[in-house]
Structure 1
Amino acid sequence: MSRGFSAVRSLLPSAADYREARRSWRPDLLAGLTVGIVALPLALAFGVSSGAGAESGLVTAIVAGVVAAVFGGSPVQVSGPTGAMVVVLAPIIAAHGTGALALVCLLSGLIVLAAGALRLGRTVSYIPWPVIEGFTLGIAVIIFLQQVPTATGGDPGDSTNAAVAAVHSVLSASWPKAGWSLALVAVVVLVMLASMRIHPRFPGSLAAIAVASLLVALLGIRVDVIGVLPAGLPTPVLPALDPAAVATLAGPAVAVAALAAIESLLSARVASTIADTGPYDADRELVGQGLASIASGLFGGMPATGAIARTAVNVRSGARTRVAAITHGLLLLVVVVVGSAVVSRIPLAALAGVLMVTACRMIALRTVRTILGASRSDAIVFLLTAVVTVSVDLIYAVVIGLLVAGFFALRQLARTSGVHREELPGTARAGDERIAVFRLEGALFFGAAERALERVSSAGGVEVVILRMSQLQLLDATGAQVITELIGALERRGITVLIKGIRPDHVGLAERVGVISSLRHQNHLFDDLDTAAAHARSHIARSRTVE
């Protein structure tokens, strides 16, 4: 009972989360203000790009940002709307409308919450690096392509594929409106590039949006703007749990939940490597992100995830505790309450420019070169994941990437297995040529068993076979079954099989599958090679006497 209570308690907030806040509240507040400034244009842009609207992006950054900070498993994680989530949400909203967003938030949040409660947080560690980077590259390309219709002011058409929509929007763009939109995008890009030279922490995206908005106002340029925003958070509303709607949105909700869990845990893991605030709790992080998405949906927001870029800014700005991420959310709330009129006049083309630069920053050329030069299998996994992400679907891309990476890993593991014939120990004696010693090593599993043991079964001119299994590091049921069948086949040919040195961790499996019972006698199982060799020679001596 007490153990179960402790397990539940470990997933909930505690006073220990803020133990260091007494000493670090100043840098935490400064970091929170810095991240809030960085997050404002991104929240607006991601909200617009998803189709849910700028208000939804802000609500997500505020509500989900605070809830995830309080309940999550990382002391420095910053959560909110992200580009990857936008990529998944955009086709869902296009197909089912913004009215389905609250239910998707609720369902996906419950799934992520359940994953945390079931202690599934560490599963993300099984995703290979090339899959993660290919996934990131694909997302970056999609985010960039999604901004093309806004940047040109053209019609994206009916396709949910970002590349097709981008091409359609360029072909249908009308001039001179498209020229003004592209000019604003160029201004934003130039300001953001210039800000990088001023200082790495300079809020270039916010400055770029301010410059673009000022130009629109001074020159009277007619372009699309964000529009009216409410001066506060909406009233929370529980979505209607219509069975038909739940059944329709269950699949999309699972995809959203999978992405939310993967991206949040990856972000938390990155944060733990660049911050000296200690490890993160993966299971609690899932609980926090699940609650954040649920809360966000109640207020009209989007599903949330941990945001790697904003989390990195938070850490580099000196954040030590959750106070920083909470401050970031509260700052955005102040902006909504006080500055909604100003925010409403921001041109959409400026937001598109911000996301285009953000997408380009997501692509680390050094990382791409490293993976492509690492090995052929890593390069294939990386490129395949990226291509499937852009052309098909994010979740399919991860699944396919995992399957292909798993295939290459198993193939490499199979190559480590081997069967080597050895000489008998001690001084050679007459009849030793009728004894074959085979050393099994490496991994004997379903991907390698048949090929590895072909050499043993093809041995000719021998009467006794000694199988050395002490160097066998991995043995699964298929490998054990193949050994069982091999022993049976050799015994039927009149060849006596002796086994030397089954590892203690393999004995149970060998007994259950029938390896040991397939031996002619139970005393054909040995702990050392000298004893096995002596027994084999005695067999040969007896057979020669009979002859």
Structure 2
Amino acid sequence: MEQSSKLKLSHYFRPRLLELLHDYDKSRFATDVTAGITVGVVALPLAIAFAIASGVKPEAGIFTAIIAGFLISALGGSRVQIGGPTGAFIVIVYGIVMQYGLANLLICTIMAGFILVGLGVARLGSLIRYFPRPLVSGFTSGIAVLIMLSQVKEFLGLDIPVMPAEFLHKVPAIFDALPTLHWPTLLLAIASALLIWYYPKTWAQKIPSPIVALTLGTLAVTLFNLPVETIGTRFGGIPQGLPAFDPPEFTLATLRYLIPPAITIALLGAVESLLSATVADGLADDKHDPNQELIAQGIANIVCPFFGGIPATGAIARTATNVRAGATSPVSGIVHALVLLLIILVAAPLATNIPLATLAAILMIVSINMGEWREFGRLHRYPREDSTVLVITFMLTVVFDLTVAVEVGLLLAGIFFIRKITDATQVSQEETEHEEDTADTEPSRKLRVPRGVLVYRVYGALFFGAADKLESVLHQQHLEPEVLILKMDEVITMDASALHTLQGLAAKLQRRGKHLILSGPHTQPYFLMHSAGFFDEIGRDNVCANLDSAIRRARIVRDGKAESV
């Protein structure tokens, strides 16, 4: 019994860390430690910047990077995935904080965590791959635009007491505040952005550009006493020490109206993490377990809010840095979390003079790199349907929100897909000649059938979108065959709507004393028709394995040797 329980648990919960440690050695450990230190240094400024841009305190981002980074690496289904706060969540988190408050953001994150765990346990991780690429490109680029807009205030030093969350209110607020532009802030932000953008790639392998920009910006503020906003002036610094356990309070009434934002967090987290894991697979020549990854993401998002953390997911840029630094196992991700913990325990006071302008510059570069701008230049090469999905998803993400964009994008993609499959489905009459009119020795390309027999070839997917093509056979009043053969060996799938239409066709022929014969149905259509009792309706002898046997059966029923069905 105990062994059976262990087998069931291993079916649902199989962290890659346990699999990879069987042949782990000192050499790999040394490489992973080096990679973990590198990623930890890269993650620090990003964690701070993402938190501030999300409308929460900077330490919330660091705590999230530590806790989620540790749990996602230790429990995840990827060998090199790095978890933590990401730019994609900035817009979502800021909107939730503005609308529902910080306490309810924490509850939303916990709810999203349970949703993610549920998706993983239900083995639904692979469904994320059914998100069309234009949809993902559209909302990713839309989020990038919103991140840029969210940083305009800090980049220009504008006096906007509370930045609106909605695009339609945010843009006017920015324009109205342009007269308050603060030149020292703008110059520092531009200098930081240029440094990051033009930083030599060969140097970045040793010292990441955001760290250099953050260090130089902080030194400039400290040495020259620049009149710009810093973490110290805005938040009073970053506390030195471990995060406190502080469970958020909630009521059942609160949970009800937090379901939509929780679903949004879970949806974006699932897509972002599995996209990141897929990128990691390509870089590290590996194959992640999407269901285990979702379970780990869910656990991380359940735990983080109890320590003041925000939503976390797989981070593509940090994961890529991890791979390039030589990571071989999840140990590097665990080391990255420990490095961040060490930094906050030892060096937290040094963050007081970090300028917000430099953090804004870092996020501006992140958003530029995040957006899939090249896809817009390729729109003319893509099918019109794909271009439409990309552009509409992008616009809805920017103007409204991610939930609306994904819902409409998926609906459009589904409609376009149905239309494509419908167009590919064909129901056509085969060219035939009567056996009675030609000799057996005469060569002919036409199908030889008994007089009064018609053969229709059905190709593709028979489903609700293509059912009308099958109905067209019903309207061929002038043909009046004694026997109608449907050649179904090229029908790959069939649904209840097509079955209903087929039943109508059989009933119409039955009322006229005619016969319906099916030829070579595939496995899925066969079992659907069988389980629905359709074979009993038309007569089991009228279901034939191939066209030759169907024609032989047609001779029998035409000559009256079988009862009309």
Q: Report the TM-score, using the length of structure 1 for normalisation.
A: 0.92
Q: d(CA) in 2 for partners of 1:443 and 1:248?
A: 41
Cα RMSD (Å): 2.5
1:283 maps to 2:291: yes
Q: d(CA) in 2 for partners of 1:233 and 1:469?
A: 67
The offset of 1:435, in angstroms, is 2.7
Q: d(CA) in 2 for partners of 1:539 and 1:253?
A: 62
Spell out the pairing of 1:465-484 with structure 2 (5 A cutoff): 465-484=484-503
Letter in 1 for 2:212: A
Aligned to 1:8: 9
% identity of equivalent residues: 34
Mapped contact 2:163–2:173 kept (Cα < 8 A):
no
Aligned to 1:485: 504
- Aligned in 2, Cα 1:273/1:145: closer, same or farther, shift over 3 Å? same
- Aligned in 2, Cα 1:499/1:295: closer, same or farther, shift over 3 Å? closer
Q: d(CA) in 2 for partners of 1:522 and 1:80?
A: 60
> Quick check: 5-14 or 307-316, which moved more?
5-14
Q: d(CA) in 1 for partners of 2:256 and 2:481?
A: 65
- Aligned in 2, Cα 1:167/1:458: closer, same or farther, shift over 3 Å? same
2:139 aligned residue (132, 135, 145): 135
Aligned to 1:362: 370
Q: Per-residue displacement from partner, 1:294-318 (whole Å, max 9, x unpaired)?
A: 2221211112111111111111111
2:224 aligned residue (219, 222, 225): 219
Q: d(CA) in 2 for partners of 1:401 and 1:352?
A: 30
Aligned to 2:382: 374
1:258 aligned residue (259, 267, 278): 267
Mapped contact 1:149–1:156 kept (Cα < 8 A):
no
Aligned to 2:64: 60
- Aligned in 2, Cα 1:398/1:471: closer, same or farther, shift over 3 Å? same
Mapped contact 2:494–2:525 kept (Cα < 8 A):
yes
Mapped contact 1:148–1:166 kept (Cα < 8 A):
no
Aligned to 2:211: 206
Aligned to 2:48: 44
- Aligned in 2, Cα 1:260/1:542: closer, same or farther, shift over 3 Å? closer
> Quick check: 130-139 or 458-467, which moved more?
458-467
Q: d(CA) in 1 for partners of 2:541 and 2:259?
A: 59
- Aligned in 2, Cα 1:151/1:412: closer, same or farther, shift over 3 Å? same
Q: How many residues align?
A: 540
1:529 aligned residue (547, 553, 556): 547
- Aligned in 2, Cα 1:371/1:333: closer, same or farther, shift over 3 Å? farther
Q: d(CA) in 1 for partners of 2:203 and 2:392?
A: 36
Aligned to 2:253: 244
The offset of 1:61, in angstroms, is 0.8
SS at match of 2:458: strand
The offset of 1:371, in angstroms, is 5.4
> Quick check: 488-497 or 121-130, which moved more?
488-497
1:404 maps to 2:412: yes
1:347 maps to 2:355: yes
Aligned to 2:169: 164
Mapped contact 1:149–1:170 kept (Cα < 8 A):
no
Q: d(CA) in 2 for partners of 1:156 and 1:518?
A: 73
Q: Per-residue displacement from partner, 1:391-425 (whole Å, max 9, x unpaired)?
A: 12212222222221111111111112111211347
SS at match of 1:341: helix
The offset of 1:158, in angstroms, is 6.2
The offset of 1:259, in angstroms, is 1.9
Aligned to 2:445: none
> Quick check: 15-24 or 230-239, which moved more?
15-24
SS at match of 1:508: helix
- Aligned in 2, Cα 1:514/1:450: closer, same or farther, shift over 3 Å? farther
Spell out the pairing of 1:293-308 with structure 2 (5 A cutoff): 293-308=301-316
Q: d(CA) in 1 for partners of 2:465 and 2:429?
A: 21
Q: d(CA) in 2 for partners of 1:218 and 1:66?
A: 36
Mapped contact 1:154–1:169 kept (Cα < 8 A):
no
> Quick check: 416-425 or 126-135, which moved more?
416-425
1:69 aligned residue (61, 67, 73): 73
Mapped contact 1:500–1:529 kept (Cα < 8 A):
yes
The offset of 1:45, in angstroms, is 0.5
- Aligned in 2, Cα 1:207/1:158: closer, same or farther, shift over 3 Å? closer
- Aligned in 2, Cα 1:106/1:423: closer, same or farther, shift over 3 Å? closer
- Aligned in 2, Cα 1:538/1:230: closer, same or farther, shift over 3 Å? closer
The offset of 1:174, in angstroms, is 4.8
Mapped contact 2:68–2:83 kept (Cα < 8 A):
yes
> Quick check: 61-70 or 363-372, which moved more?
363-372
Q: Per-residue displacement from partner, 1:253-299 (whole Å, max 9, x unpaired)?
A: 222222222211221122112213x3212222122112212222121
Aligned to 1:108: 112
Q: d(CA) in 1 for partners of 2:307 and 2:375?
A: 39
Mapped contact 1:36–1:331 kept (Cα < 8 A):
yes
The offset of 1:488, in angstroms, is 1.4
Q: Per-residue displacement from partner, 1:158-196 (whole Å, max 9, x unpaired)?
A: 632146324413422454x52222212111111011214
Q: d(CA) in 1 for partners of 2:254 and 2:558?
A: 76
Mapped contact 2:429–2:455 kept (Cα < 8 A):
yes
Q: Per-residue displacement from partner, 1:211-268 (whole Å, max 9, x unpaired)?
A: 2222223332211111211112222122224333333433322222222222112211
Mapped contact 2:75–2:296 kept (Cα < 8 A):
yes
SS at match of 2:427: strand
Spell out the pairing of 1:16-27 with structure 2 (5 A cutoff): 16-22=19-25, 23-27=27-31
Mapped contact 1:110–1:290 kept (Cα < 8 A):
yes
Aligned to 1:29: 33
Mapped contact 1:81–1:303 kept (Cα < 8 A):
yes
SS at match of 1:466: strand
Letter in 2 for 1:439: R
> Quick check: 166-175 or 480-489, which moved more?
166-175
Runs of 4+ in 1 over 6 A off after TM superposition: none
The offset of 1:378, in angstroms, is 0.9
Aligned to 2:83: 79
The offset of 1:355, in angstroms, is 0.4
Q: d(CA) in 2 for partners of 1:524 and 1:285?
A: 50
Aligned to 1:498: 517
2:121 aligned residue (114, 117, 132): 117
